[in-house]
């Protein structure tokens, strides 16, 4: 069975890098068996997916982050009092 690969439209950007960083990037991506461009594209996609994923409930609860749906300061104050008492 043949694998199906989907080609996405790719935009191009130019990123100025110090020569030392570019040399490292090329060597590192080459060691992974990919191009520097493909490595950066994968890392960017991974970062976007990670940041767009909602926090797990346990993480939100442990962090004390008040979600936007909490309407007023009184609820926030009560939360902080409860959290720090």
16-65, pLDDT tens digit by residue?
999 999 999 999 999 999 999 999 999 999 999 988 888 787 877 777 76
Is the four-CA dihedral 33, 34, 39, 45 of positive or negative sign?
negative
Q: Are 29 and 35 in contact (CB under 8 A)?
A: yes
52-79, pLDDT tens digit by residue?
888 787 877 777 766 666 567 777 788 8
Alpha-carbon span 42 to 45, nearest angstrom: 5
3-class DSSP state of 3: coil
The residue with greater pLDDT, 32 or 10, is: 32
pTM here is: 0.57
């Amino acid at each position: 069975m043949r694998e199906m690969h989907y080609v996405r439209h790719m935009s191009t950007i130019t990123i100025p890098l110090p020569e030392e960083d570019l040399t490292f990037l090329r060597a590192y991506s080459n060691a992974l068996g990919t191009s520097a461009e493909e490595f950066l594209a994968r890392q960017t996609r991974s970062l976007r997916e990670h940041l767009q994923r909602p926090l797990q409930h346990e993480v939100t609860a442990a962090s004390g982050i008040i979600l936007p749906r909490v309407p007023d300061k009184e609820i926030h104050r009560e939360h902080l009092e409860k959290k720090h008492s």
